[in-house]
């Protein structure tokens, strides 16, 4: 038996179509949606991610403002740039690509972004709203995963969902998004005992470890018909890989997402969606 491949490229293109229409609508009202990207240092993976985000913006008519800072940038310089972008009426969304160099604090940096321009959904304000089901701007990768569940009509109510990731970008926001859909959520991590049992009991596994030397989700670890979402990205011999061997896991799973071509394109699509949402909020004169 072989399950259904979750095609993030197709689903993300549907989201991007919707964003393009919303962008045209905003432009007809005199609002040009605009995303400011901030890249610090010369991490090649981060540079590629930012370039891909800018290209995706251009394709749907969202303007971008590109800010590249040296790896020696201080927290004070970073704060000053964010203050400027917060004040800039032309800018609706601010994306500071993570990770940051060690002298900059991710908490201080993301907290400084205006919640109305927080297209990553990482500010304490927006993460708090998410926990109360009130957030307008939600973290992009988890939102993209929820969009995949919706598109493939994968039910969540009452399901056991195991998330193997506890980051601010993925695992923590997923807790609230999944709970809102009445799933039973288990967050697993490097100190979890009996991970194999936790995986066996799951109807849905969302895995995001990103280091095959530490963890691989194998078919033996899952039950027949499990839904597997692979959020991890790492490189092996220059090739992008996730936590699973897709061709093997799909033999046992009912649905599985590949890497690349699964969650990755959804993250970018949801960033575009958030940027248009932020631009729409600007109509209310709040940013």
Shortest separation between residue 121's beta carbon and ligand GUN, angstroms: 9
Computed from CA positions of residues 282, 143, 146, 177, in that sequence, does the dihedral angle turn out positive or negative? negative
List strands edge to edge, sheet with 255-256: 4-5, 255-256, 227-230, 204-207, 160-164, 184-188
Nearer to ligand GUN, 60 or 199 (CB): 60
Say if strands 63-69 and 34-40 run parallel, antiparallel, or are unpaired. Answer: parallel
Nearer to ligand GUN, 34 or 222 (CB): 34
- What does the alpha-carbon distance between residue 119 and residue 275 come to, in Å, rounded to a whole number? 6
103 included as an active-site residue: no
Considering the rule CB under 6 A, would residue 96 count as an interface residue with ligand GUN?
yes
Considering the rule CB under 6 A, would residue 267 count as an interface residue with ligand GUN?
yes
Shortest separation between residue 99's beta carbon and ligand GUN, angstroms: 7
Considering the rule CB under 6 A, would residue 113 count as an interface residue with ligand GUN?
no
Helix or strand holding residue 206 (H, E): strand 204-207
Nearer to ligand GUN, 226 or 267 (CB): 267
Scanning 22-30, 74-82, 95-103, 207-215 for contacts with ligand GUN by CB under 6 A, the matching segment is: 95-103
Among the listed residues 173, 209, 204, 169, the one whose alpha carbon sits nearest the alpha carbon of residue 192: 209
CA 163 to chain centre: 14
Residues with catalytic roles: 53, 97, 120
Residues that bind ligand GUN (CB under 6 A): 95-98, 120, 140-141, 169, 267
């Amino acid at each position: 038996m072989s399950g259904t491949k979750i095609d993030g490229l197709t689903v993300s293109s549907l989201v991007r179509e919707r964003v393009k229409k919303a962008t045209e609508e905003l432009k007809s009202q005199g609002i040009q949606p605009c995303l400011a990207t901030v890249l610090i240092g010369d991490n090649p993976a981060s540079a590629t991610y930012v370039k891909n985000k800018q290209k995706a913006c251009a394709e749907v008519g969202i303007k971008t403002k590109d800010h590249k800072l040296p790896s020696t940038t201080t927290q004070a310089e970073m704060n000053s740039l964010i203050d400027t972008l917060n004040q800039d009426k032309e800018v609706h969304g601010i994306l500071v690509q993570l990770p940051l160099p060690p002298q900059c604090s991710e908490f201080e940096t993301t907290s400084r972004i205006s919640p109305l321009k927080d297209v990553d959904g990482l500010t304490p304000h927006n993460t708090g709203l998410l926990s109360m089901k009130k957030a307008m701007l939600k973290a992009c990768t988890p939102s993209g995963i929820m969009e995949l569940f919706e598109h493939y009509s994968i039910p969540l109510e009452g399901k056991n969902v195991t998330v193997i990731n506890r980051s601010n970008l993925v695992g923590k926001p997923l807790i609230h998004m999944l709970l809102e859909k009445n799933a039973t959520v288990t967050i697993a991590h490097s100190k979890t005992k009996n991970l194999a049992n936790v995986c066996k009991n799951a109807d849905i596994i969302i895995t995001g470890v990103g280091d095959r030397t530490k963890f691989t989700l194998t078919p033996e670890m899952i039950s027949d018909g499990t839904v597997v979402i692979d959020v991890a990205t790492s490189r092996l011999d220059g090739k992008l890989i996730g936590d699973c061997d897709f061709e093997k896991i799909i033999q046992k799973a009912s649905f599985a997402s590949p890497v690349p071509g699964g969650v990755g394109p959804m993250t970018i699509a949801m960033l575009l969606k958030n940027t248009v949402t932020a631009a729409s909020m600007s109509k209310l004169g709040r940013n």
